[in-house]
A and B are shown apart, each in its own frame.
Chain A
Amino acid sequence: MEKVCRDKKCHKKPVKSRRALNRSMAGNVTLFVFMGICGVFMAIPLIFVASNAFKPLDELFRYPPRLFPRNPSLDNFADLRVLMSNSWVPFSRYILNTIIITGGGTLGHVMVASMAAYPLAKHDFPGKNILFGVVVLSLMFTWQVTQVPNYLIISKLGINNTYLAVILPAFSYGLGLYLMKQFMEQIPDSLIESARLDGASEYRIYRSVIMPNVKPAWLTLAVLQFQTMWGNTGSQFLRDEQLKPLQYALLQIVNSGPARQGAAAVVTLIIAVIPITFFVICQSSIIETMTTSGMKE
C-alpha cells in the first residue's frame, strides 16, 4: 500500500489510497529536503554530546574542535566507573531509587490525571469549569517560589525525607490533567453513550472505552512525565543519601572538579540517553496504535 501511494498512480484514484490524497511529488521532495536541513541543525549539538563522551582528554580540549573523535576511547567510561565505585552508597541503590521515583511518579500521574480528566471532559457536574480553570491557571505560576510553602506542607504531612515527598506532588501536576482532558474531548459522545446503555459503570467506561481511545495521549504524557521525574534530583526533600536518585549522584560526581571533564561528558550522555530510550519505546507503540485504531463514531 505504501509503495503504491508514493508514485503518481494514486492521484487518479484518490479515494482508494488515503495517504496520498492531495499530495504532489514536488511538495514531498521539498519537504524531505527541508526536514533534512533542519534535522542537521537539530542533531549537531547532540552529536557533540555523544562524541565528546568518546574523546580522550587531549581531544576534548583540541583546537580547532572536531565533531568526531580521532582516536575514540572508552577512557571516560572507565573514569566514571572508578568514580562511581567510590560513592557513599552502592551505585545500584541510586538506580533503585530512580526506578521507584521515576516509575512511581510517571505511572501515578498518568493514572490519577487521566481519571480526573475523563469527568472534566465528558460529564457535566457542578464545579467542573472552576476546577479545570484552576488547573490551567496553576500552570502559569512560577514553581521556584512555591518551593518554601511546599517544603512546609510536606514537613507538616510528615513525609519529608521519604520517596512520597517527591512522588505524591508529581501525581497532581497540572500538565497531565490538561493534556488528557483536551484529548478526551475529541472522543465521540455516542461511544460513551452506547457503553452506558450496555450498563457499564463510569469507572468501567474510563478504563475500557476512554483510555484505549486516547492511547497516543497517555503515551505522550508518559514520555513528558518520565522526563520530568528523571530530571528530579529530589535534593530538597530527600536528605538521606540512600534515598537519592541517580541523577543526583551523577551530577554530584561531575560537579566536583574540572579534572573530571571526561567523566562529565559521559554523564551528560547518560542523562540524555535514558529519557530518549524511553521515548523511542513509547513512540513506536504510539505509531502502532495509529495504524490499528482511529476514532470512529
Chain B
Amino acid sequence: MSVTRGDIDDSTSRPRGSWARGLCLALATAGLAGKAGANTSGGMNLPVGVTSLSQNIYALHMQVFWTCVVIAVLVFGVMIYALVKFRHSQGAIPDTTMLHSTKVEIIWTIIPVLILVGLAIPAARGILFMEDMRNSQLSVRVTAYQWKWQYQYMGAAKGINFFSTLARSSNFARQLHSGIDPKTVPNYLLDVDNPLVIPSGTKVRLLLTSQDVIHAWWVPDFGAKRSAIPGFVNELWFTVDPGKEGVYRGQCAALCGRDHGFMPIVVDVRTPDDFKKWVEEQKAAVKQASTHAGDEPRSAQLLPGQSLPH
C-alpha cells in the first residue's frame, strides 16, 4: 500500500472524526480495521455531511447499524457458546427431545417485529422530511448526458446554463496506459471544468432528467442522490448549513455506459452574497456572449436555439 495520505487534498471537508467512527464500525463488526487509523481520510463510514438531510440520514444509519451490532453480538454470542459448549469431542450428549417450543418461537418472532417497528418510525419520518420539496429558494435543472452534466439555473439566476465535464487533468490520466500516476492528479476523477455553484443556507431544489440513458446525481456530503431518467423529471432538495461553504464532490451513481466512472459532480457552495456576485458575473458573460457571437464565455454556454425553463 504505497499511497501516502498526506498528499491527498481532502477538500470534501469531512469532519476529521469520521475515521474514528469508521474504526468503531470495523472493530465492532469484523475486526478487520487494524490499519484503519492510518488510511482513512476518505473514511470508512458515511459522511455526516453538511445538510440537515445528510445528518438525518447519518443518524438513522448509525441507529440501525448499532441495532444490528447489538443483535449480532447477542445472536453470534449464543451461536459461539453453543459451538464451544456442545461439542461431541467434549462428550456432549444430544438432547433429542428438544423438538420445538411454541412459546420461544412466538417470542423470537415478536421481538424482531418490535425492533423493526422501532427502526421504521424514525425512517418514515425521514422519508417525509426528505420528500418535502416545498418552499425551495433556488431551482436548477440538471440534465444528464453520456457523459456530462448540464446545469440550467431557474428563477432569479435564470440564463445561467453550462455543461460540467471531467477535468482535463483527470481525463488525461485516466486513459488506458496513460503513464500518469493518478496520485499526482489533484482530485483524480472528482474534478470538473465547471462546478455547480450554489449558495449556503438556501433550500436548493434540483430537477433531474436525462437526454439518453439513466444516470444518477449524487453528492454524499449532501445526502442527495436521485436518478436522472429520460422522459422523467425527478426532484431532490438540500440546504447546505451556513458556514459550511466549500467544494463538495460526488459521482454519477447509475451505470450509464463506457464513461460511467468519469462523470463526476462538483458543487461549489458559496455564501449567499458571493453567490449573488457570481450570478451577476455569469449573467454579464451571457449577455456579452449574445452580443459578440462566437466570443464564448468560459462557463456560460447557451446552446443555440435552446429555451430556458421558466
- Chains A and B are bound partners: no
